[in-house]
Structure formats: C-alpha cells, structure tokens
C-alpha cells in the first residue's frame, strides 16, 4: 500500500524508530507529523546507534525524502543538532529534508514554563520531558504561537518574539523564575534561522503530489496511544494527538489515503513519567526487565516504569486506529522468565470495565485480570522464522494475535534492523 503509518500502541518507546527505519527501505517519503523532541526514536545498524527526536527515522535510506510536517513543534536548536550529526555522517540534507512553514516553534520561554509548571505541581508533577511541548502547543491553540513561517521575515519574527517573550517573562517572574534574556535569545535565533531557511518548503504540496503519483509514503508516529491528548488518562498525556487522525491534521493527507496502519507493541509495558499504569510491576522482576531491556528514556535518560503487557489498553488502541498489522517488539527481553502475564481486562469494585471508560482515577484503581503463560528459557534473538521459536513463545504470540484480532507483520527480537522473526 502506498501510504502506511507506524504508530505506538502503548505509552511510547515501543521501538517505533527501528520499525520505521526498516520499512523506510521501501518508501519514498518518511514523515513526522506530531509531537516534538519529547520523542526519542532509536535506530541501530552495525555498531552505530542514532537517536532521533525530530528528524524522521528513515532518513538514512538513499532515495528517501524526510518531511517534518505541520503538526510537529520544533525546537530549532535540537533540530539543528540532529542535522549536524547527519551531515557529519555524509547525508546530503539539502536533497532530503523538508520542514513545513506551518510547524510551530518551541522557544526558550516554553521550556522555562514547562519546568515552572512542573515545579509548581510539586509532588503532583506529571513527569513531562520539560522540552516545552505543552506550553508550545498551548500557545498554538491560544493564537500566541510563532511558526516556522514567521522565521521567513526576520523583522516580523523579532517583533512577534519580543512581544511573546515579554508576556511570558511576566508569568515566569510570578513563579520566581529568571526571565528569558530577549536580546541574547534573539541573537541565537537569528543564527538558527539562517541554518533552517533552505529547508523550509510547503510540505502539503509535496505530499499531495507524491500521493497522487502513488509514491510510497510512511508516517512515523511519535509517542503512543496511551499518551494521546484526548484518549490518555488526562492530564497524564502529551500535548498532541497520537491517534491516526493526527496524520490528517498534522500533514494534510486525507485519512482515507492511509492504507496500512502498523501498530507497534512492546512485549511488556514501559512508561516514563507519572500517571496510572494498571499492570505496573515493582521489585526485582521489574528491575531485571528494565536492565535487560535497557529501559531508560531515550530523551531524558529516566528509568522507565515496567509492567506486563496490557491487552485491554492495546485492544482500545487497535480499535481507535483501525490497526491492520501488528509488530511485537522486544520479545527477546522476556526470555528466561518462568512465567509471563498478560492483562486481558480490568475490574473495578468487582465490575468489568474497559479502558475507554476510565479516567485517571479509575485507571489508578482498576485490577488487571491476568492470564498467565509459561515462559521460555532459550535466547530467541537469533531466531528468524516463526517455526523456530520455542513452543511457549508461539503460544504467547498466538494468544495476543487472537485477542486483538489483528495479524502480525513480523516480530522484533533485537534492536538491529534485521533482528526480526517472519510470522
């Protein structure tokens, strides 16, 4: 199918970067359409490891174009840093990278505000990445945003920025936070502007023409469905729509054009930041999975909370996105466990209820209904054929497929591009 999307069906960090990088091999365009540099997508090939926060993960492939479309919020410094890394790797970005003028900018005061709000929440902090994401999107919604478009005319930008920064500085002062130095930040932004200008181009026309010509377009979702602004246990959310509808608003391509929705599911649950995780586990088992899986935030380095795979939540994700194919990742990390649990539903006060019926207070209290499976001892990271997997592993995978009613695209058993089991 010419237009596909890769989206995370849990709380983020499902391994989307690896999958996008792999599928981008047979794509003409790869597109980020939501979120900002709160995302951290890892790709590994050979001995090299790259972390992308803003640039689409498939950019390494030879004939691919990478688009950052209008739904993304851009921190210029972070983007430029990634561009520098890629250019040092010999990638000619001039031929590959397009930045939509409609993207909103994350500016210095957004990061200060993010931190100030978190500090003010004290013990009730949400655990944001402090990258300024919420404040940048809230400026967008309240017509106080400044876009990449505004960078095109420096005098106009300077005026907008000075007005906004003065307003934000008044708020920062009430928090007792040092205000943003407007002159200094403007001089840095002036340099950043020059670096970004050659890449600014209307992304809609490019994508629309590509779609009409049946070019292969791959959308790279950021975060996960359980973090969606509308469908997460708000306020334990991120500030963009991670559901499939985000592609339409965040890139302009019609929803109907998206043929294949590939849902990425980690074989267990991980979560960075606060908020309810019904299947969370603690203690030695959680620590062992975290260490073996390297479950530390790609963006912030925070240890990820760990839990069993929550199929009640993932079933919701499959439905709301009409997921057509599944990729299970990190199955290799579960090797060596005597037993493995899967959450197949929730109860609250003895009554069954679904994920969509829960606000964060209910989700904090629900009791997961578990089905327990025998584990497997063999290391499966070298397995490439389904038939070669241990019997217990096949039982686990078959149960998930049947429960969710979605077929597998493949199963991932390692961070490398080719570490996949054909199903």
Residues that bind ligand GDP (CB under 6 A): 8, 12-18, 40-42, 44, 294, 298, 329-330, 332-333, 412-415
- Closest alpha carbon to 237 in 126, 117, 361: 126
CB of residue 24 to ligand IMO, shortest distance in Å: 16
Residues 9, 31, 39, 400: which binds ligand IMO (CB under 6 A)? 39
Out of ligand IMO, Mg ion, ligand GDP, none, what residue 127 binds, judged by CB under 5 to 8 A for its kind, is: ligand IMO
Residue 129 contact partner, candidates Mg ion, ligand GDP, ligand IMO, none, CB within 5 to 8 A by sort of partner: ligand IMO
Residues in the chain: 423
21, 41, 114, 150: the active-site residue = 41
Q: Is omega for the bond preceding 235 within 30 degrees of 0, making it cis?
A: yes
Whether the Cβ atoms of residue 232 and residue 8 lie closer than 8 Å to each other:
no
Interface map 13-42 toward Mg ion (x if CB under 5 A): x--------------------------x--
Span near Mg ion by CB under 5 A; candidates 6-14, 20-28, 71-79, 397-405? 6-14
Site string for ligand IMO, 360-399 (x = CB under 6 A): ----------------------------------------
Range in contact with ligand IMO (rule: CB under 6 A) among 59-67, 203-211, 220-228, 411-419: 220-228
Pairing of strands 29-32, 217-220: parallel
CB of 37 to Mg ion, least distance (A): 11
What is the rounded CA–CA span in Å between residue 184 and residue 108? 11
Q: How far is CA 371 from the centre of its chain?
A: 28
Structure tokens at 105: 């900018």
Q: Measure the CA–CA gap between 296 and 254, rounded to whole angstroms.
A: 36
Query: 267: Cβ–Cβ under 8 A, 6 or more apart, which residues?
Result: 309, 328, 329, 330, 331, 333, 334
Residue pair 329/15 in contact (Cβ under 8 Å)? The answer is yes
Name every residue whose Cβ is closer than 8 Å to that of residue 309 and which is 6 or more positions away in sequence: 265, 266, 267, 268, 269, 279, 342, 343, 400
Residue closer to Mg ion, measured from CB, 57 or 169: 57
d(CA 298, CA 277): 20
Q: What's the rounded Cα separation, in Å, for the pair 159 and 164?
A: 9
Question: Is there a catalytic annotation at residue 13?
Answer: yes
Task: Give me the least distance between CB of 264 and ligand GDP, in Å please.
Answer: 7
Tell me the closest approach of the beta carbon of residue 359 to ligand GDP, in angstroms.
Answer: 26
Task: Choose the one of Mg ion, ligand GDP, ligand IMO, none that binds residue 309, judging by a C-beta under 5 to 8 angstroms depending on kind.
Answer: none
Among the listed ranges 84-92, 174-182, 200-208, 290-298, the one in contact with Mg ion (CB under 5 A) is 290-298
Residue 76 touching ligand IMO (CB under 6 A):
no
**Sign of dihedral through CA atoms 387, 270, 224, 318?**
positive
Give me the active site residues, please.
Answer: 13, 41
Residues near Mg ion, by CB under 5 A: 13, 40, 298
């Amino acid at each position: 199918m010419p237009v596909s999307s890769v989206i995370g069906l849990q709380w983020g960090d499902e391994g989307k970067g690896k999958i996008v990088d792999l599928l981008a091999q047979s794509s003409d365009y790869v597109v980020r359409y939501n979120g900002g540099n709160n995302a951290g997508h890892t790709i590994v090939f050979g001995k090299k490891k790259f972390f992308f926060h803003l640039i689409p993960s498939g950019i390494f492939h030879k004939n691919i174009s990478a688009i950052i479309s209008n739904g993304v919020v851009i921190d210029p410094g972070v983007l430029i840093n990634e561009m520098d890394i890629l250019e040092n790797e010999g990638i000619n970005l001039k031929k590959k990278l397009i930045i939509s003028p409609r993207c909103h900018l994350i500016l210095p005061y957004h990061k200060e505000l993010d931190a100030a709000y978190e500090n003010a929440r004290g013990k009730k902090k949400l655990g944001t990445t402090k990258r300024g994401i919420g404040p940048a999107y809230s400026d967008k919604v309240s017509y106080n945003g400044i876009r990449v478009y505004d960078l095109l005319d420096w005098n106009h930008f300077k005026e907008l920025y000075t007005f906004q920064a003065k307003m934000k500085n008044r708020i920062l002062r009430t928090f007792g936070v040092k205000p943003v130095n407007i002159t200094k930040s403007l001089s840095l932004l002036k340099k950043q502007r020059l670096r970004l200008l050659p890449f600014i181009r209307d992304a809609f026309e490019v994508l629309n023409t590509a779609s009409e010509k049946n070019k292969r377009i791959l959308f790279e979702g950021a975060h996960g469905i359980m973090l969606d602004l509308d469908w997460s246990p708000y306020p334990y959310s991120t500030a963009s729509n991670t559901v499939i509808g985000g592609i339409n608003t965040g890139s302009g391509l019609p929803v109907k054009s998206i043929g294949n929705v590939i849902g990425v599911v980690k074989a267990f649950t991980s979560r960075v930041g606060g908020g309810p995780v019904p299947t969370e586990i603690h203690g030695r088992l959680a620590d062992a999975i975290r260490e073996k899986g390297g479950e530390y935030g790609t963006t912030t380095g925070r240890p990820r909370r760990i839990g069993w795979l929550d199929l009640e939540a993932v079933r919701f994700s499959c439905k709301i996105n009409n997921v057509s194919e599944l990729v299970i990742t990190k199955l290799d990390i579960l090797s060596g466990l005597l037993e493995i649990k899967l959450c197949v539903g929730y109860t609250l006060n003895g009554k069954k209820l679904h994920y969509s019926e829960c606000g964060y207070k209910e989700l904090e209290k629900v009791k997961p209904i578990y089905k327990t499976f025998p584990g497997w001892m063999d290391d499966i990271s070298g397995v490439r054929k389904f038939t070669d997997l241990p019997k217990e592993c096949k039982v686990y995978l078959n149960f998930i497929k049947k429960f969710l009613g979605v077929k597998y695209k493949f199963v991932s058993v390692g961070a490398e591009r080719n570490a996949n089991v054909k199903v």
